[in-house]
Amino acid sequence: MMPTPDPGDPNTQLSLARMIYAVSGGIILYLLLEYSWRFLFGRMRTVPWGLYRFDVWYHVSNLCFVAAMLLVAAAYRFRAELFCWESGAGPSGATGWIRGIVLGLLGGGVALLVASPVFWFGWGQGKFESIQLLIAHALSPLGVLNLLFFIFALAVSSEIVFRGIVFRTCARYATVPAAALASCLLFAYIFPVVGFIAAIILSVTSSILYHKTRNLLASILANALFTVGGNGITLYHHLM
């Protein structure tokens, strides 16, 4: 007689079948929300509440992605295994937090340097140029807060799903390079604010940081820095 799986066992929580169903469902939900919103937005003659059309466009587009990714994480009940590779692997004390922050900023800076030609020549342009618009509008405290909210919402939600779930689960059933490849391709296909080539560079960096540090802090910071820096380079090039 087969033993009954323990619901609290990380092996059960990070099963391959569960990952496929949850992540596939999240991606399909995001695409449905995105294309439904684009259809409805195209049919709107006026935008309610006196808002600008482009403001509504990129806010809702980003929120669709964040909502879909958080629903995937909610299927795992936001368990600690999504954030830390192993028990006790999270930042502990001031040294752990500083190390995660330094590695995240360093990794994001290196990835941004590697990808800078991609952004400069327009190959890293996002699907909706949403972060570029947010950067251009960040001329007031409210604009800066708006930018920070969307940057970290995108970074946290995407890293939980593509590193904490996809990469971590695939690494249990295959080699680490194969797991990184799977998470990189999925991430590059779906991430809404940088193009495919730039997203591959970011995803490789985030996977390395997550694997080395065993928690998501460094990869989240690298994601946020890369997204802001890359879109800033593209915006500057357009203005020039």
Q: What is the mean pLDDT of the chain?
A: 84
Picking from 3-7, 42-46, 58-62, 185-189, which range would have the lowest pLDDT averaged per residue? 3-7
Any domain includes 105: yes
Any domain includes 53: yes
Backbone angles phi, psi at 194, to 5 degrees: -135, 155
Question: Span 217-232, mean pLDDT?
Answer: 94
| pLDDT for res 239 | 81
Any domain includes 2: no
Does the pLDDT at position 181 exceed 50? yes
Does the pLDDT at position 222 exceed 80? yes
Question: Span 65-84, mean pLDDT?
Answer: 91
Any domain includes 85: yes
Does the pLDDT at position 52 exceed 60? no
Q: How far apart are CA 189 and CA 90, in angstroms?
A: 29
Please state, for a pLDDT cut of 90, what percent of the chain lies above it. Answer: 50
Model pLDDT for residues 17-48, shown as the tens digit of each residue:
999 999 999 999 999 988 887 777 666 666 55
Torsion region of 215: left, alpha or beta (phi above 0 gives left; psi -120 to 50 gives alpha): beta
When pLDDT is cut at 50, 70 and 90, the band that residue 80 belongs to is: confident
Q: Show the domain range for 168.
A: 10-90+101-239
Does the pLDDT at position 183 exceed 60? yes
| pLDDT for res 59 | 76
Any domain includes 202: yes
CB–CB of 163/210 below 8 Å?
yes
CB–CB of 208/45 below 8 Å?
no
Q: Which one is predicted more confidently, 33 or 220? A: 220
pTM to 2 decimals? 0.87
Q: Domain count of the chain?
A: 1
When pLDDT is cut at 50, 70 and 90, the band that residue 170 belongs to is: very high
Contacts of residues 94-101 at CB distance under 8 Å and 24 or more positions apart, as own/partner, are 97/217, 99/213, 100/213, 100/215, 100/217, 100/218, 100/221, 101/217, 101/218, 101/221
Any domain includes 96: no
| pLDDT for res 40 | 75
Model pLDDT for residues 116-157, shown as the tens digit of each residue:
999 988 766 666 677 887 888 788 888 888 889 999 999 999
Any domain includes 160: yes
Any domain includes 5: no
Does the pLDDT at position 4 exceed 50? no
Residue 166 Cα distances to 2, 41, 148, 203, 205, angstroms? 27, 32, 25, 12, 15
| pLDDT for res 96 | 78
